[in-house]
Amino acid sequence: MQRKIIVITGILSVLVLMAGLTACKHGHRHRGFDEFDLAAATDRIAHRLDLTESQKAEFERIAAEIAEKAKAMHADREDRLQDLADLIRQDAVDQDTIDGLIGAKMENMQAMIDFTVSRLIAFHATLTPEQREKIAARIEDHAADGCRFGSR
């Protein structure tokens, strides 16, 4: 009888633990970010800012450009991970090799940052002062709330 209670308690504990770990992965997608997600995000932002049709079209174009560039940047992910795995398997690792891998990744990231900033500046020029104020208020609200899951 006591053994049966221990087994049941163990199984329930594992189930609760698995449910808790699953809840911690809020928003995680194994399939990545696709066009449906992009459309949903752009629609939500366009609605919140009350964008005009021309602003919405420009925003969607910019978002699609950034998403396309991000997909291209992530295309060589498997090769980079394989290079890292091969590096780890070696008996000795030198600083220059690691610096080279990190440097290449940082260059790609900097190119993406520059690209995104240029598109942000272009989109900012199309916004009205009221729309800019809505964005600024959202940023301030987000900063005041701290890090919360699910607050979108």
Per DSSP, the three-state class of 28 is coil
Residue 92 to residue 112: CA distance in whole angstroms? 32
Could you tell me the pTM of the whole model? 0.63
Least confident interval from 65-69, 72-76, 95-99, 128-132: 72-76
- Cβ-contact 97, 58 below 8 angstroms: no
Mean pLDDT is lowest, of 19-28, 58-67, 71-80, 119-128, for 19-28
Sign of the CA dihedral 59, 60, 64, 65?
negative
CB 12 within 8 A of CB 6: no
* Domain segments of the chain as ranges: 2-145
